[in-house]
Amino acid sequence: MNAEALSAPPMPGDAAALIADMGARARAASKTLALAPTADKVAGLVAAAAQIRARAADILAANAEDMAAGQKNGLSGAMLDRLQLDDGRLAAIADAIDDVAALPDPSGAEIDRVTRPNGLVLSRVRVPLGVVGIIYESRPNVTADAAALGLMSGNAVILRGGSEAVHSNRALHAAFAAGLVEAGLPADAVQLVPTQDRAAVGAMLRAQGLIDIIIPRGGKGLVARVQDEARVPVLAHLDGINHLYIDGTADPAKAVELAINAKMRRTGVCGATETILIDRAYPAPLAIVDALVKAGCEVRGDKAILALSPHVDAASAGDWDTEYLDAIVSIAMVDGLAGALAHIDAHSSRHTDAIVTEDAAAAERFLTGVDSAIVMHNASTQFADGGEFGLGAEIGIATGRLHARGPVALEGLTTYKWLVRGTGQVRP
Amino acid sequence: MNAEALSAPPMPGDAAALIADMGARARAASKTLALAPTADKVAGLVAAAAQIRARAADILAANAEDMAAGQKNGLSGAMLDRLQLDDGRLAAIADAIDDVAALPDPSGAEIDRVTRPNGLVLSRVRVPLGVVGIIYESRPNVTADAAALGLMSGNAVILRGGSEAVHSNRALHAAFAAGLVEAGLPADAVQLVPTQDRAAVGAMLRAQGLIDIIIPRGGKGLVARVQDEARVPVLAHLDGINHLYIDGTADPAKAVELAINAKMRRTGVCGATETILIDRAYPAPLAIVDALVKAGCEVRGDKAILALSPHVDAASAGDWDTEYLDAIVSIAMVDGLAGALAHIDAHSSRHTDAIVTEDAAAAERFLTGVDSAIVMHNASTQFADGGEFGLGAEIGIATGRLHARGPVALEGLTTYKWLVRGTGQVRP
């Protein structure tokens, strides 16, 4: 069965009409999903994963089209790498859907319950948000990941992928939707915007009442545009300008190991450390600098760090506010915990910041005093990840303060309602 | 001490500059509040309440100025009633601050905690949102209520009250701020916008990064303007088009009592029922109509209800989507639970809807099937209130789906952060 044909709306020239039509269909599907038993959603996910495996040849052929176009259009090596699928990556995409199917269903879970003196029993119960819009760039795996998280949490999703992955996204979406239909779920539960016209993104961002939340997945340019234009609430993932503070009492072996891991394990992820702060009282700063240099990292330091080693370049003022996403680190010497807190307050993007210390009281002051989505003690900032946090998957790491903060997975795609059970109580 | 003078910023002609200045002072104060021990915040609230009591004569004199201006400007009786303070109302305002001081401090509370297989201990801990903007209309009590809830949850607040209550708001704010200063807290924790220029509201709505959330308190016009213009996230309270559905198996005595209470206890509150749906199988619909008429309620019915009694007027199509906030009710006959769910899905504003039934299975289907912030069984919709829900107070009832839903009090003014406690773990 061609699920894409089933779910494809007419192609009006008017982006607002297109999104209004998709939104209405998504709303209708969301009402079915909100009441769907967990077993039905699991069956849909398992069938979607099976369809992706069964259609591997088609999906890889579609991806080859995207890769050819990308090479012709001069995409960077990094972008081509994000775009490329192969047997292993496609198997991982299907397996990730099965992994989501194995997670606990958040919808219907009771958050709390209280009996009032008048006998009314109040409870808060999680329910899906409704219709979730995902706007993303080159990685085709987001098509399947977002669809799976949306479905499992009982939401309908409207996906708008990047033009460089258009064939891959269509093939993955068609497979996913075919799985849903096979399992008796509405194909409109997961819709892919059928045009790459940028006006469709604008229409999604202004679709109040049709789309309940927009989640942008991509670079700064995309996220900034979404935040700037959106009239629909946005769950945004901004910079990860993350700090690792080496306290005076830090264990030197841990300090070196954590600095290397936090900065260098993978330099392109949002949880990578970008700035290391070293307490002036810490006895072995040079060992940290040397280890980073030896690991292939460019070190940019303030005057005190610059004086330590000929391998350090002078940091400019802008370095303290830069997310390198590369093998570059800025290092500053600070006056103890207070100096670290002041630097972090001034420069952190409030994503993930960590302290290395053997002083439990200093650790607690840091955990309390740093106002970031994730604050760590004696752990690598690279753990900032929904999978590592036990959430099973993540749709993003929210750097805002409302609704959800840090890694967002199934629970972040729900809201709650209040249930009040009485026996005829009237209000005096 | 004149706390207002202490906290009053310069009065620049430029509203954006004014709000930027107030926002920067609020941010600084919010950092103090976020780390303030509960006892300090309680002391500030108790001192604020005492200052309001001590300055009662000044506050009532200021209120008399507003009342005189309101009468001159032809404010309606209802608006003048909302505006008016007297000894009793002022005592209630002060007492409400003491009540907030007695609530559990949400800031710092641990939401959950888990130990990962690698030994990392993850916990989510509530922290204040930061800077909360409240934009409200004629009720001066909001000045004290919002300040108290903001302070107790560790947030700095920027208040912008209506021009008709300007003198009352200034006097209440001055008393509140004097209490804060007396208790050693920053006066900037609670600021009142010193101008009634509407451009200041616009500047608040566009103060991304300065104000973390805007809460409008007032009529539809205000809330609609805020939702339309705001670039800052909004926690909005829209209509309460609430339904009471009388199921075929409802106990007739409960049905009449709940209908009268839900509609007539106070007709002007957002939890008042506006539409009653009666199952065609319910044996005694006329008794409900008669009781409402006898209680002084105007009844507008569909054909089936119209045929029951000469005291019923014909409902127009618009009646099913109207929040009367008055002694008027629309009543429709529906085909059982399915008919009720369909009507509610089409017409509810998703604030509060209730079922009256003795059938437990029907009740659960209603509680699950109605997608409103509050869904009730055998209870009056007039219980939709933070105080009645045991929250101690409320800053509003959120009708949106993100962040908080239904009655919002202290917890709704917090977000959370993730704390990760390790022993040197690096990510493989």
Burial tier of B317 (Cβ tally within 10 Å: 0-12, 13-18, 19+): exposed
Query: Do B414 and B352 fall into the same domain?
Result: no
Average pLDDT estimate for B75-91: 93
B258 chain-A contacts, CB cut-off 8 A: 424, 426
Judge whether B374 and B352 are in contact, CB under 8 Å: yes
What's the pLDDT band for B2 if we cut at 50, 70, 90?
very low
Mean pLDDT, chain B, rounded, equals 94
Per residue in B179-229, pLDDT tens?
A: 999 999 999 999 999 998 889 999 999 998 899 999 998 888 888 889 888
Query: Do A285 and A173 fall into the same domain?
Result: no
Per residue in B353-407, pLDDT tens?
A: 999 999 999 999 999 999 999 999 999 999 999 989 988 878 888 988 999 999 9
Q: Is the pLDDT of residue B11 over 50?
A: no
pTM score of the predicted model: 0.92
Q: How far apart are CA B335 and CA B358, in angstroms?
A: 17
User: Phi and psi of A161, rounded to 5°?
Assistant: -90, 175
Paired with A101 in beta bridges are none
B363 chain-A contacts, CB cut-off 8 A: 421
* Residue of B420, B421, B423 to mutate when probing chain A, most A C-beta within 10 A: B420
**Number of domains, chain B:** 2
For residue A33, give the nearest of A123, A136, A169, A149 by alpha carbon. A149
How far CA B121 is from CA of A37, A375, A377, B224, in Å, comes to 33, 12, 10, 44
Give me the CATH number covering residue B355.
Answer: 3.40.309.10
Contact A420 B377 (CB under 8 A): yes
Query: Do B212 and B311 fall into the same domain?
Result: no
Each residue's pLDDT expressed in tens, for chain A with a length of 428 residues: 333 334 444 444 599 999 999 999 999 999 999 999 999 999 999 999 999 999 999 999 999 999 999 999 999 988 899 899 999 999 999 999 999 999 999 999 999 999 999 999 999 999 999 999 999 987 899 999 999 999 999 999 999 999 999 999 999 999 999 999 999 999 999 999 999 888 999 999 999 889 999 999 888 888 888 988 888 989 988 789 999 999 999 999 999 999 999 999 999 889 999 999 999 999 999 999 999 999 999 999 999 999 999 999 999 999 999 999 999 999 999 999 999 999 999 999 999 999 999 999 999 999 999 999 999 999 999 999 998 998 887 888 898 899 999 999 999 999 999 999 999 999 99
Q: How far apart are CA A45 and CA A179, in angstroms?
A: 7
Residue B424 lies in a domain: no
B120 chain-A contacts, CB cut-off 8 A: 379, 383
Segment 118-157 of chain A within 8 Å of chain B by CB: 120, 122, 127, 129-130
Query: Do A229 and A261 fall into the same domain?
Result: no
Structure tokens at A177: 């939707």
Residue B389 lies in a domain: no
- For A131, the closest chain B residue by CA position comes to B401
Query: Do B263 and B220 fall into the same domain?
Result: no
Q: In the prediction, which pLDDT does A1 show?
A: 33
CB contact burial A40-61 (16+ within 10 A = b; e otherwise): bbbbbbbbbbbbbbebbeebbe
Query: Do A314 and A361 fall into the same domain?
Result: yes
For residue B331, give the nearest of B354, B307, B365, B300 by alpha carbon. B300
Q: Please tell me whether residue A408 adopts helix, strand or coil conformation.
A: strand
Question: CB-CB: which of B116, B120, B130 is closest to A401?
Answer: B130
Query: Do B117 and B184 fall into the same domain?
Result: yes
Burial tier of A229 (Cβ tally within 10 Å: 0-12, 13-18, 19+): middle
Q: How far apart are CA A319 and CA A306, in angstroms?
A: 14
Query: Do B231 and B253 fall into the same domain?
Result: no
- Read off the DSSP letter of residue B234: B
Judge whether B127 and B157 are in contact, CB under 8 Å: no
Specify whether the backbone of B80 is left (phi greater than 0), alpha (psi in -120 to 50) or beta: alpha
Judge whether A240 and A298 are in contact, CB under 8 Å: no
B68: CB partners within 8 A, 6+ apart? none
Q: In the prediction, which pLDDT does A138 show?
A: 77
Judge whether A252 and B420 are in contact, CB under 8 Å: no
Residue A277 lies in a domain: yes
Per residue in B331-352, pLDDT tens?
A: 999 999 999 999 999 999 999 9
Give me the CATH number covering residue B179.
Answer: 3.40.605.10
What's the pLDDT band for B120 if we cut at 50, 70, 90?
very high
**Which residue segment(s) compose the domain that A139 sits in?**
3-238+408-419
Query: Do A143 and A216 fall into the same domain?
Result: yes
Judge whether B250 and B357 are in contact, CB under 8 Å: yes
Q: What is the side-by-side strand order in the sheet with B328-334?
A: A110-115, A121-128, A414-425, B374-379, B352-356, B242-246, B273-279, B328-334, B298-301, B312-314
Residue A276 lies in a domain: yes
Q: In the prediction, which pLDDT does B13 show?
A: 59
**By the CB < 8 Å criterion, does A387 face chain B?**
no
Contact A261 B427 (CB under 8 A): yes
Residue B397 lies in a domain: no
Per residue in B264-301, pLDDT tens?
A: 999 988 999 999 999 999 999 999 999 999 999 999 99
Query: Do A231 and A266 fall into the same domain?
Result: no
Residue A75 lies in a domain: yes
Query: Do B200 and B300 fall into the same domain?
Result: no
Q: Please tell me whether residue B314 adopts helix, strand or coil conformation.
A: strand
Judge whether B136 and B142 are in contact, CB under 8 Å: yes
B254 chain-A contacts, CB cut-off 8 A: 424
Q: Is the pLDDT of residue B10 over 90?
A: no
Four-residue CA torsion sign, A349, A352, A356, A360: positive
Residue A392 lies in a domain: no
Q: Which H/E stretch holds residue A278?
A: strand A273-279
Distance of residue A422 Cα from the nearest chain B Cα, in angstroms: 5
Q: In the prediction, which pLDDT does A393 show?
A: 78
A258 chain-B contacts, CB cut-off 8 A: 424, 426
Contact B380 A425 (CB under 8 A): yes
Paired with B213 in beta bridges are B132
**By the CB < 8 Å criterion, does B212 face chain A?**
yes
- What interhelical angle do A87-101 and A38-54 show, nearest 10? 170
Contact B420 A254 (CB under 8 A): no
> CA angle B31-B32-B38, nearest 5°?
120
Q: How far apart are CA A347 and CA A330, in angstroms?
A: 12
Four-residue CA torsion sign, B133, B134, B135, B141: negative
Query: Do B217 and B99 fall into the same domain?
Result: yes
How far CA A342 is from CA of A264, A321, A329, B27, B186, in Å, comes to 25, 14, 19, 14, 19
Segment 333-372 of chain B within 8 Å of chain A by CB: 345, 354, 363, 367-369, 371-372
A290, A293, A295, A299 alpha-carbon torsion, rounded to 10°: 120
CA B62 to chain centre: 26
User: Phi and psi of A313, rounded to 5°?
Assistant: -95, 160
Q: Is the pLDDT of residue B122 over 90?
A: yes
Residue B395 lies in a domain: no
Judge whether A389 and B122 are in contact, CB under 8 Å: yes
Structure tokens at B92: 């209630």
**By the CB < 8 Å criterion, does A78 face chain B?**
no
What's the pLDDT band for B166 if we cut at 50, 70, 90?
very high
